[in-house]
């Protein structure tokens, strides 16, 4: 039995990262934990998010994870240094891969970033983008209404379109040519976001870029699964979340199988 890649998120949004991992690395076993009992993290303090992240990572280590993927922008923006210092396995978040992709895509060096309040407040994307290119201009916007709309399954809905227009139009008028979807829920809204931006802005899906970084790291550190057998996916949630789970299953077309409910401690 191969050691799994451990993936965690504040809830179910991180399944967008799992989907990207399954597509790119079909032979890898994946153990996913979503902290549905304590979601959302996006409005919580950095200290609380760090503590929750260490607890979830501990659970993944007990499952013998060879690598930990932080499939949550909020956690990635505040807790990566603590996790890297505390854990004996490599840790990959979503911020750096997303920032790299945005810098590669932008032509006018004006990048927009959307995310939860905690992600935007942390300035993590701005710092990562500027570390790659000091001349980049970053326009950020916290979009706290998007996660509830997505979790309600309103992926194609007038209410969502109005909300997106309110958040995105100022950035578009300001001239961004690239937008980082800085929350693992947001890829589910990509078609509506693209439409709201009149298909004139390139979208950076942090889930897909994170999966590419995982592939690179597995190869570099000789950690990739050997053999041809298809990898397994185990999903554990800290509380039942049937509604959003079916939204994610349908939107992502991800084979999830049985979901176990387990508490963290």
Q: How far apart are CA 163 and CA 153, in angstroms?
A: 14
Among 39, 91, 210, 237, binds ligand DGL (CB under 6 A): 39
CB of 105 to ligand DGL, least distance (A): 20
Q: How many angstroms separate the CA atoms of 149 and 202, rounded?
A: 22
Query: Smallest distance from the beta carbon of 164 to ligand DGL, in angstroms?
Result: 16
CA–CA separation, 191 and 196 (whole Å): 9
Phi, psi (deg, nearest 5) at residue 171: -70, -40
- Residue choice 7, 8, 10, 202 for contact with ligand DGL (CB under 6 A): 10
Using rule CB under 6 A, residue 98 touches ligand DGL: no
Under the binding rule (CB under 6 A), the answer on residue 40 touching ligand DGL is yes
Site string for ligand DGL, 154-193 (x = CB under 6 A): -----------------------------xxx--------
Shortest distance (Å) from residue 185 CB to ligand DGL: 5
Q: How far apart are CA 194 and CA 222, in angstroms?
A: 38
Please report the sign of the dihedral spanned by the C-alpha atoms of residue 80, residue 84, residue 87, residue 92: positive
**Cα(125)–Cα(112) distance, integer angstroms:** 10
- Which residue's Cβ lies closest to ligand DGL? 42
140 binds ligand DGL, rule: CB under 6 A? no
Catalytic residue status for 141: no
Residue from 6, 13, 97, 98 in contact with ligand DGL (CB under 6 A): 13
183 is catalytic: yes
Shortest distance, CB of residue 116 to ligand DGL, whole angstroms?
5
Residue from the set 101, 111, 147, 188 that interacts with ligand DGL by CB under 6 A = 147
Q: Following DSSP, what letter does each residue of 144-212 receive, concatenated?
A: TTHHHHHHTT-SS-HHHHHHHHHHHHHHHHTT-SEEEEESTTGGGGHHHHHHHTTT-SEEEEHHHHHHH
Question: Residue 91 and residue 80: Cα distance in Å, rounded?
Answer: 8
Residues that bind ligand DGL (CB under 6 A): 9-11, 13, 39-42, 72-74, 115-116, 119, 147, 183-185
């Amino acid at each position: 039995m191969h050691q799994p890649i451990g993936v965690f998120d504040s809830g179910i949004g991180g399944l967008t990262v799992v989907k990207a991992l399954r597509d790119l690395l079909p032979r890898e076993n994946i153990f996913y934990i979503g902290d549905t009992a304590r979601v959302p993290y996006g409005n919580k303090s950095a200290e609380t998010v760090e503590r929750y992240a260490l607890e979830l990572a501990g659970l993944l280590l007990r499952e013998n994870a060879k690598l930990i993927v932080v499939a949550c922008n909020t956690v990635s923006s505040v807790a990566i240094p603590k996790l890297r210092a505390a854990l004996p396995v490599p840790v990959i978040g979503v911020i750096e891969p997303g920032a790299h992709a945005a810098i590669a895509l932008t032509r006018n060096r004006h990048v927009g970033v959307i995310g939860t309040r905690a992600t935007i407040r942390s300035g993590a994307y701005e710092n990562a983008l500027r570390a790659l290119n000091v001349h980049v201009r970053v326009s950020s916007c916290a979009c706290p209404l998007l996660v509830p709309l997505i979790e309600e399954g309103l992926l194609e809905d007038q209410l969502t379109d109005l909300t997106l227009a309110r958040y995105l139009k100022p950035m578009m008028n300001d001239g961004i040519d690239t937008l980082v979807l800085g929350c693992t829920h947001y890829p589910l809204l990509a078609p509506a976001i693209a439409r709201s931006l009149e298909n004139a802005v390139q979208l950076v899906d942090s889930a897909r870029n994170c999966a590419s970084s995982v592939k690179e790291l597995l190869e570099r550190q000789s950690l990739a699964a050997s053999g041809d057998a298809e990898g397994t996916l185990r999903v554990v949630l800290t509380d039942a979340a049937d509604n959003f789970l079916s939204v994610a299953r349908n939107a992502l077309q991800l084979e999830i199988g049985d979901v176990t409910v387990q508490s963290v401690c």
